Amino acid sequence: MLSKPPSILENGQGLFGTHVTLEDINSSIRDHMNTESQLTSDSQMDVIGDGNGFSSRVILITCNWSIPSESLPKKIVLKIVSFVHIRELVEKAINEGYFKLSKEDETKMSEEFEKSIQLMHNQEIRFYETLKSANTDSQLFLTPKVYFYQKFDDYNSTKGFIGMEYIERSDIRHTYEVCTPEEIQPVLRAIASIQALSFSIPEEDFKRIEDGSVYIQTMHGMMAEEGMKGIFEHTKRTDPERFAERITRIQNHGSNLLNLEKAFDLNRFLGIPRNVLVHGDLWSANILWSSGENNVFSACKILDYQMTHTGNPAEDLVRLLSSTLSGSIRQSQWENILEQFYGYFVEALGESQKEISYTLEQLKQSYRLFFPIGGLALLPLFGPAIDMKMKSMEKEKAAEHRQVVVEKLECLLDDVEKFYLESI
């Protein structure tokens, strides 16, 4: 009797319940780092960022090299594709009644997750390969240095990973924390530089990213009617007094508000002639921050490019501003921030571009039109994504953070409806 092939949906016998072993890592190091040295079994490995990533196990390796060298990194962040966290979130949502799935539907959803996670991992590597071949300064884009990686293919369906640089004294900030417009300026510059890169990289590299994206399919799956019912219900329960009526009004607009076809074809609708490179999952927890004096933070790296695709220039801005800034600051300053961003974009284009691909007014209109879809897509990041983190906090701190979430959500829901009504 043939044994069932291993699946990434299940725990493996490798590092921290994954299928990846130390031998796999050393094989990739030999292929990508041009060294005969390898990590010994004395290398210390610790899971970090647990509960932050949806589809990965993130491990900090304190390296013990078989052939020591000053040119080799002392620490490496290893991101391994893993289904463990997603499975826990789905099971929790089902048990709490947010989703009702038959066993057959649950199996189908798991299989679709497996395929999309593999494609997203390969897309992230494709993005890093594009940056490397463009011979650009990674600091412009705030991308981490990549040491080695392994893609999925027809012969490897369980072992996908990326080994990256470790940034000392840095941390992430979640949606329950508030950033200032000044603190996100480096991120705005990085997004602008990545968009400008769209016009200088070879057309075949741009096409590889365009063709390799699973962003639209993923968004269609995430924002399907049944899935959104569960997300809306969870948001209502966060603060029924503030959110129940708002959510009901949004639901009453029906499928007209959830017009994904228009949201993902805004460039044609607005007369923007060319798509730009888009991160696709740019929210507060996908940014590394370093802290300075007086509790002032500075963005130092942007992480997780699995959802990279080609699209509209305002997509990343909607996600970034809504997840980082307080709701009131975002509402009062979004136009000023987009004007700053547009200046960075024009500067990044330099003199090589005779024509600028979109106007400031087209950027602002893109923000307005994408906000209903982009805003609703963020709801899980104010709910299931942070619930587990909040439960581990002291009650007083959790209550303080909960107020931040409520304020951001209240303003977000108001603008989802406002910008939708303005568009019809």
Mean pLDDT, rounded, for 49-69:
85
Q: Sheet holding 75-81: strands in order across?
A: 44-47, 56-62, 75-81, 161-165, 146-150
156 vs 200: CA distance, rounded Å: 33
The amino acid at residue 183 is: E
Mean pLDDT of the region 58-81? 97
- Would the pTM count as exceeding 0.85? yes
pLDDT for res 294 = 72
pLDDT of residue 1: 40
Window from 28-37, 227-236, 302-311, 356-365 with minimum mean pLDDT: 227-236
Domain ranges of the chain: 15-165, 170-423
Residue 322 has pLDDT above 50, yes or no: yes
Which residues 6+ apart lie within 8 Å of 238 measured at CB? 382, 383, 405, 406, 409
Which residue's entry shows tokens 């801005």?
317
Instruction: Find how far residue 335's CA is from the centre of its chain.
Output: 23
Q: Quick one: CATH architecture of 170-423?
A: Alpha-Beta Complex (3.90)
- 140-159 pLDDT per residue, tens: 899 999 999 999 999 999 99
pLDDT at 89 over 80: no
Least confident of 180-184, 263-267, 287-291: 287-291
- Do 272 and 362 contact (CB within 8 A), yes or no? yes
% of the chain at pLDDT higher than 70: 90
